[in-house]
Structure 1
Amino acid sequence: MKLKIHDLIYDTNVIHPRDEPLHMTDPLVSAIITTKNRSGMLPRALVSVRNQSYPNIEIVIVDDGSTDLTPKVIEDFEYENRLIHLRNEESLGACRARNQGIAASSGTFIAGLDDDDEWHPDRIKFLVDAYSDEFACITSDVRLAYPKRTVQWSKEKVITFNDLLYSNQVGNQVLVKKERLEKIGGFDENLEAAQDYDLWLRLAETFGPIKNVNKPLQTIHLDHEAEQITNPKSQLAGYLEFYKKHKAKMNLTQRKYQLFQIRRAQGKVTSFWEIFRWVPHSFWLNEAKRYLAKGFLKND
């Protein structure tokens, strides 16, 4: 049986974790996965959650208007797992879908996962063990999987609000208390892009710095061109909206670097001189490497 709640379809055949007795001292972690037309990759993400060594996890999937075999993938998976399934008959966008998943979750903690990525088996265990309320949330190093190679992104142990005003040094996922997401209003549904970056900034501004576990606990797959929930054509415009939203909080150096990153996304960075002119000293090496590898990266 399926009940329509506003613009959602909620599958009542799924065992909801609120109705399932828990005999664990470990806090419940809600794994939020939003998906659209990625039935070929979604099973990898789901299996990576199911295979976590941490014992107390629920999965919340928001299908944002898929027209492929995604509903069948979820149906096949939900019989053997603690899973909540929400479906939008028409796509409402990444932010709305994520907020729907958060609202439907029961966990003390929220941990996001993109449908084309995967968690390493001990990810949630390490993040929960390392969590402290003195930090806004917690993240980890990641592996970036390109078609021809895999590289590790090693982040700073502590990422401050000031650090984030230069660039998104957190990435795309964290573990955070649900009550904190609720306090700051969740994802900003008015932004078309950089929604995760915006959320990290607001979390750090409200609750303090973000802690990083220096272990690669997630793989981000950049080796495909599958459909995205966020329309690629709107990403640049969305980032400009993000920049305007937070511009007043930035100093001149931070603004210049943000504008440099926008120009780079537009393909307008054509010389080393622009790196020296626009980029803070601490980012010179990374930007120079990116510039030199530009042709190689395009072939990936």
Structure 2
Amino acid sequence: MSQNPLISVYMPTFNRVQMACRAIDSVLAQDYPHFELIVVDDASSDETYDVLTARYAAEPRVSILRQTHGQGACAARNRAINAAKGDFVTGLDDDDEFLPHRLSSLLAAYDDKYSCVCSAYIWDYGSVKKTLYAQQQTVSLAELLDLHTLSNQALVKRERMLQLGGFDTTLAAFQDYDMWVRVVAAFGPALRIADASYKVNVGHELGRITNSPKRLDAHQQFVAKHRSLMNERNLQNQMFYRITMQQQTLSLAQVMHLCRYGLIKLKVRYYLKQRLARLSQLRIRLFSKGLSGLFKK
């Protein structure tokens, strides 16, 4: 393999042209030059496709494809991966951004003994930014089945993604989690590096209903799909995750029982958050709107 292999970046988009342009520009600003970006418009009903094709017509590293009818983000990702020419692939969501050293830092950390490489990432609420998982760690399958700690994007050999059939289009949610579980199960532990190079913009998503029936059904489907890989600890921790999605209140005794299966800080934090729900709501509002936003209706 070349010392400067081609990296193919796949990005689905739908009806978010301004955000998509910001995401594309963050890829074009990479300090690693040998990449291609494949954007798949999932049959947007607005001007997304026309704007993107016009704006990036003179940029040979950017390809804009279009689905004739909406098939979802996973189908769009799979189409891009199938069209890719790179030795490696990695993804970007259209509302997120790469930092300029994203590709170079992932490639520098890559080793064939790992199934894939990901990084810490920045959670941008708008007024406040948090860096998550800012510790380097080799993540085993057992650890990954406890909790999704890899982030939603990783650098992986394209041939591995193709061998596994790409993203599962039958899942309504947890598609990235499912993908990395299958990658790690097939090719060994993953590496997460501490250097954050991916920014998740969540300020516009604070109204999202994370405990929707569709998401809960998808989680049940995810657990059933990987049940044969899970031990009792994994199942208990997946049950805890489901509790958090449903925002159930736990008693101290229930929390103590769940702490027997690890993830103690996460579970204690959830227990305290439930007890201090009002303060938690103010905290999220502060992160999103800043101090002045606390006093506005």
Q: Which TM-score applies when normalising by structure 1?
A: 0.85
Aligned pair 1:34/2:12, yes or no? Answer: yes
Pick the aligned partner of 2:137 from 157, 168, 171: 157
Q: What does the per-residue CA deviation read over 1:251-288, in whole Å, with 9 as the maximum and x for residues that have no partner?
A: 11210110111121012234444332224454111232
Aligned pair 1:80/2:64, yes or no? Answer: no
**Alpha-carbon separation, structure 1, partners of 2:260 and 2:127:** 30
Q: Which amino acid aligns with 1:64?
A: D
Higher strand share goes to which structure?
A: 1
Cα-Cα RMSD = 2.3
Deviation at 1:77, TM superposition (A): 2.2
Query: 2:120 aligns to what SS in structure 1?
Result: strand
**Alpha-carbon separation, structure 2, partners of 1:249 and 1:174:** 22
Query: 1:41 aligns to what SS in structure 2?
Result: helix
Per the alignment, residue 222 of structure 2 pairs with 242
Per the alignment, residue 94 of structure 2 pairs with 115
**Alpha-carbon separation, structure 2, partners of 1:173 and 1:46:** 16
**Alpha-carbon separation, structure 1, partners of 2:52 and 2:128:** 30
- Contact 1:260–1:279 at 8 Å: present in 2 too? no
% same residue: 33
Pick the aligned partner of 2:197 from 214, 217, 241: 217
**Alpha-carbon separation, structure 1, partners of 2:199 and 2:173:** 21
Query: 1:215 aligns to what SS in structure 2?
Result: coil
Query: 2:70 aligns to what SS in structure 1?
Result: coil
Pick the aligned partner of 1:68 from 37, 46, 53: 46
Q: Which amino acid aligns with 1:274?
A: Q
Deviation at 1:38, TM superposition (A): 1.1
CA change 1:253–1:151 in 2 (3 A) is same
Per the alignment, residue 125 of structure 2 pairs with 146
- Contact 1:53–1:122 at 8 Å: present in 2 too? yes
Q: Which runs of 5+ in 2 are unaligned?
A: 289-297
Aligned pair 1:284/2:272, yes or no? Answer: no
Per the alignment, residue 176 of structure 1 pairs with 156
Higher helix share goes to which structure?
A: 2
Q: Which amino acid aligns with 2:155?
A: L
**Alpha-carbon separation, structure 2, partners of 1:73 and 1:56:** 25
Q: Which amino acid aligns with 1:142?
A: Y
Q: Which amino acid aligns with 2:86?
A: G
Deviation at 1:140, TM superposition (A): 0.6
- Contact 1:38–1:227 at 8 Å: present in 2 too? no
- Contact 1:155–1:169 at 8 Å: present in 2 too? no
Query: 2:18 aligns to what SS in structure 1?
Result: coil
CA change 1:280–1:33 in 2 (3 A) is farther
- Contact 2:142–2:234 at 8 Å: present in 1 too? no
- Contact 2:5–2:34 at 8 Å: present in 1 too? yes
Segments of 4+ moved more than 6 angstroms? none
Aligned pair 1:263/2:239, yes or no? Answer: no
